[in-house]
Amino acid sequence: MAAACRDHSESELAGRGRSAVRGMAWDHPRARGPLEAISGEWSRESGVSVAWDARPLKAFEDQPLDELATAYDLVLIDHPFVGFAATSELIAPVNDWVDAPYLADQATHSVGPSYPSYTWQGKQWALAIDAACQVSAVRDDLWSDANLESLPDTWADVIDLAERSRAAACKVAIPLNPNHAYCAFLSIGVSVAGDMFWPAETQVDRAAGRESLEFLRQLATRVHPASCSGDPIAISDRMTRSDEILFVPLMFGYSSYARRGFRPRTLRFGNAPQGGAGILGSVLGGVGLALSARSTRRAEAADLARRIAAPQTQSGIYVSAGGQPGHATAWDSPSVNAQVGGFFGATRYTIERAFMRPRVSGHRRCPRKPLSP
């Protein structure tokens, strides 16, 4: 049976049988496409059906894990859930269902801190099947038509561009709904104070925090009105379906929008802006694939998860079906980059320096990998 992807209420889930492996994704082709394609292949080989449901991006960011682990075998999670996953016993440690050589390969080929973002108390709690961070995006055709010079490299340049385009038809935008305003605050703070913005087990640097908030206040008065309620999907869709937005300095990058034919127009992605001291700030995103400790199809679900995260899958069908892989072999591949307008090569510098959000109170940070621009 081919994999399916739909939305269902909790009551509907409770009344359904558990004959299939069931998974919960989030509602975007970047998530659904590769999961459906890989699951379809796996189902034909294993004889086990797979059903993927989808939730909106907001629910992916906020929905409690205990609502999902009881209803699904596989769940896509954001790394801030890892501390709770480890203490709640809702998620089976990856070490229990993946062998050491496989995990060693995943760790070696982590894109930025994606793999360690799912490490907690000496165990792994999800496979980093999707890697992302906040980056910049531009509509090259609109930029050329506006006769503008080089793209903004610093936050001071961003403010200048936003002011100059304030009364123009094509404006600057940035996702500022609550979750993404928070992430922008973190990124700008890191660009101001570097690793000292929020050291492990301490508080945010107050001076840098005030500077970040003041900058966001100024920027919010100069950007496209859709910014105030927008998330990266909404802003990217608006940017590629209309001619209202020419540049976004910071949002979680979706390589889908760099693919020709995905939307009427394509975006070109680049590194995040730097602060005055030349420090680049960006928040880590991406997705981890977790196995419910309450799964009634644990062996089959684990086998499917290992298939999804495998390097040959990540560099192959995962990308061709519209995914944004988490394995570095895909990010480093010229053929993979050719499918997405060079997205991975153009944003690699940023993701290697991405800031990891808190996973529990008194969160721990992963060291960034050194990399030359």
The pLDDT assigned to 9 comes to 39
The pLDDT assigned to 55 comes to 84
User: What are the residues facing 77 on neighbouring strands?
Assistant: 288
The pLDDT assigned to 14 comes to 36
Cα–chain-centroid distance for residue 92? Answer: 22
User: What are the residues facing 75 on neighbouring strands?
Assistant: 24, 290
Q: Which amino acid is at 156?
A: A
Q: Exposed, middle or buried: residue 167 (CB in 10 Å: 0-12, 13-18, 19+)?
A: exposed
Domain ranges (residues) in the chain: 4-132+285-336, 134-270
DSSP 260-304: BTTBSS--EEEPPPB-TTS-B--BB--EEEEEBTT-SSHHHHHHH
Which CATH superfamily is 134-270 part of? Answer: Periplasmic binding protein-like II (3.40.190.10)
The DSSP symbol for 158 reads H
- Closest by alpha carbon to 238, among 181, 161, 173? 173
Rg for the chain, CA atoms, rounded: 20
Question: What are the mean pLDDT values of the chain's consecutive 10-residue runs (373 residues total)?
Answer: 42 47 93 97 97 82 77 93 89 97 98 96 96 98 94 96 95 96 97 91 92 96 96 97 98 98 98 94 96 96 98 98 98 98 98 91 38 32
Q: Which residues, 6+ apart, have CB-to-CB distance to 100 below 8 Å?
A: none
The pLDDT assigned to 61 comes to 65
Is residue 25 classed as helix, strand or coil in its secondary structure? strand
Instruction: Work out the number of other CB atoms within 10 angstroms of the CB of residue 54.
Output: 20
Cα gap 237→276, rounded to integer Å: 31
Q: Kindly report the CATH number that applies to the domain delimited by 4-132+285-336.
A: 3.40.190.10
The DSSP symbol for 63 reads S
Cα gap 15→282, rounded to integer Å: 42
